[in-house]
Structure 1
Amino acid sequence: MFTHDAKNRDTTTLAVQVARLYYYQGLTTPQIADELGISRPKVSRLLSHARSQGLVEVRVLDPREQPQLLEAQLRSRYGVRSVKVVPLPPESSEAEALARVAQFSANYLSGLIRSGSVVGLAWGTTLDAVSRHLTPKRTENVDFVQLNGSGNARDIASVYSATILERFAQNFGGRAHPFPVPTFFDYEETKRAMWRERSVRQLVELQQRANLLVYSVGAQNAPVPSHVYVGGYLEARDLAELARDGVVGDIATVFFRGDGSYRGIALNARATGPDLELFKTAQHALCVVSGRAKVLALRAALLGGYMNELITDERTARLLLEMG
């Protein structure tokens, strides 16, 4: 008698076999059914399973349009290992663009997140959108760890970030590891003291072991605002300090300048996000970005080398390339 896990493995193996026959060899559904000795409806179900589980990535290559060319240009210019550009309908809004990028990213992550993964998540508007499009996939022994604290003066527990983390964990049958500290400490010495606590050290060590980091770049004036800038995390004096330091964006609430540098920015000493060097060494450092107002921050993050995989929309990709 098959166990549940054995049945899942058997289904996955058969789904891959069906997908290869369908996409690589060009066999029809009836031909596959005859070859494998299964019913035509089962062939259709297995093809759907292969797509929903990220075993198959279907892409339309239109020689008249540019997404694939944009991807190649961005890979060449910034040395990013993988770039995915999501096409947009003409005159689509910023909210529509984010929804399309979030949907694509959710499907893409289904193929990346496997049993045994440790996934670091930086909460925010973009990851919130991605979490709402996830397709359930059962995995074993997967940990989802929050990369930066999320408490502020209004909401020390931060239901917002906890909800994003929990959506990911429930979707993949994994464990959620929240980071129950403020986004920014009032005093640098308080942060140093907290980082000596065993519970915090264990969480930071789990972040360091993540083989997949998923995050976006924050920008202050985006039409779809980055949550850290509108959620009560920063005071007027903090924003003025960031302007003096030449900050153009952040990753996991760690701020950087237009050239990608981040050392010496005063607020980073009180921030709870990881040192940005972490994003240079992760096996998968996946940055998901959508929106005109994020182009400057995205360019700076690329210059800093803080990603090896990028998902963005067609309009943002074009603007990024136009910046030079």
Structure 2
Amino acid sequence: MTTDPTPDDTAAQAVQVARLYYHQGLTTDAIARELGLSRPKVSRLLTLARRTGLVEIRIHDPQAQPQSLEAQLRARYPFLTPQVVSVPPGSPEGAWLDRVAVAAARHLGQILRPGQTVGLAWGTTVDAVSRALTPRPIEGLQVVQLNGSANALDFMSGFVTDTITRFAANYGARAHLFPVPTFFDDPATRAAMWRERSVRHVLELQERADVLLYSVGAASAQVPSHVYAAGYLDETDLAALRAQGVAGDIATVFFREDGSFAGLPINARSSGPDLALTRRAQHAICVASGLGKVDALRAALAGELMTTLIVDETTARSLLTAP
């Protein structure tokens, strides 16, 4: 009596076939003979390896525009690991975001390891990434929310919690939500809340996160940053930010055109983390798409507020153009 192979057995066999095909250059006929499989079975295993992310195919063309833009970004920002995503000529910004989200999801699949903690700053871009993930259980992974859970409308819509829990479910991870206001009315209220034991637990997880995933917020983006589109900031707030030379935000913590963030009054009311966290994490991944985010991106790079940038080629080209 024979038993069907388990999913783990099938995955191991797919990896074995992929190694023989891609690393050793064997044909499907040769692999079939070596492993005692049928040729169609070998083809199915290769397809499985590609579809499930066991194998990823990347084309490195030295003349290609994305690779040229990556080289220019590395030269200008030596601390940065850039990934520039090609987009169809003439395509709308929404299509750029879709492609960048897929690239970010694949990048996460490559770097995440068992036992890590992932900090997520909710928003339009990170939500798009959450919808492009490939399911992959990772033992002991924890996902922690980096900034407060949003306003009453978002509590009702589930926008924030759905993004975080989608990430956690995709990797079989434990989700740690952060049920505090996005912005406090009074900095003293925030300071008192930060002394609560349940809040301290989340803050400690944020502090030791191995991987951070976020975008930069910008009021002028064509695909609006959620914090600006969902009514968190009134006209008085926006006018004050403009007067203080604010260029954008990360996890609802604002920074100036030179990348500095200390001393901005609104940050004393924000639920987001100290942006120095982006300089300490092993992987601080900024995902950005759209020409309206160029100024905010340039400012965040001036402050070295990321280690990895995943961006579409049109936005990258504009970013490299002198302001």
TM-score by length of 1: 0.92
Deviation at 1:124, TM superposition (A): 0.4
The question of whether the paired residues in 1 share the 8 Å contact of 2:154 and 2:160 is answered with no
Q: Deviations over 1:283-311 (max 9, x none)?
A: 11111110001011111111111111111
User: SS at the partner of 2:212?
Assistant: strand
Q: In structure 1, give the amino acid aligned to 2:315.
A: T
Give the equivalent residue in structure 2 for 1:135. 134
SS at match of 1:275: coil
Pairing 1:1-324 to 2, within 5 Å after superposition:
10-152=9-151, 154-155=153-154, 159-323=158-322
Cα offset for 1:208? 1.3
56-65 or 239-248, larger mean C-alpha shift = 56-65
Instruction: Report if aligned partners of 1:217, 1:250 keep a CA contact under 8 Å in 2.
Output: yes
For structure 2, the 5+ residue unaligned runs are none
C-alpha distance in 2 between matches for 1:90 and 1:186: 45
Contact 1:52–1:135, Cα closer than 8 Å, also in 2: no
Q: What count of residue pairs does the alignment treat as equivalent? A: 319
Gapped regions of structure 1 (runs ≥ 5): 1-5
- TM-score normalised over the length of structure 2: 0.92
Deviation string for 1:182-236 (max 9, x for gaps)?
Answer: 0000000000000000000000101112111111111101110000001121111
Q: CA deviation at 1:237?
A: 1.2
| Cα distance in structure 1, aligned partners of 2:32 and 2:285 | 38
Please report how far the alpha carbon of residue 176 of structure 1 lies from its aligned counterpart in structure 2 after TM superposition.
1.1
> Which residue in 2 is equivalent to 1:3?
none
Q: What is the CA–CA distance in structure 1 between the aligned matches of 2:219 and 2:314, rounded to whole Å?
A: 19
**Distance across 1 between alignment mates of 2:70 and 2:262:** 30
Structure 2 distance, partners of 1:158, 1:182, is: 16
Per the TM alignment, residue 43 of structure 1 is displaced from its structure 2 partner at its CA by 3.0
- Could you tell me which amino acid in structure 2 is paired with residue 117 of structure 1? Q
Q: 1:124 to 1:155 in 2, by over 3 A?
A: closer
**C-alpha distance in 2 between matches for 1:191 and 1:303:** 29
RMSD over equivalenced CA pairs, Å = 2.0
Structure 2 CA distance for partners of 1:180 and 1:312, relative to 1, 3 Å = same
**Of 167-176 and 109-118, the range deviating more from structure 2:** 109-118
Query: What is the rounded CA distance, in whole Å, between the counterparts of 2:142 and 2:41 in structure 1?
Result: 33
Contact 2:73 2:80 in 1 (8 A): no
Aligned-pair identity in percent equals: 60
Distance 2:254 2:72 in 1: 27
2:115 aligned counterpart, secondary structure:
coil
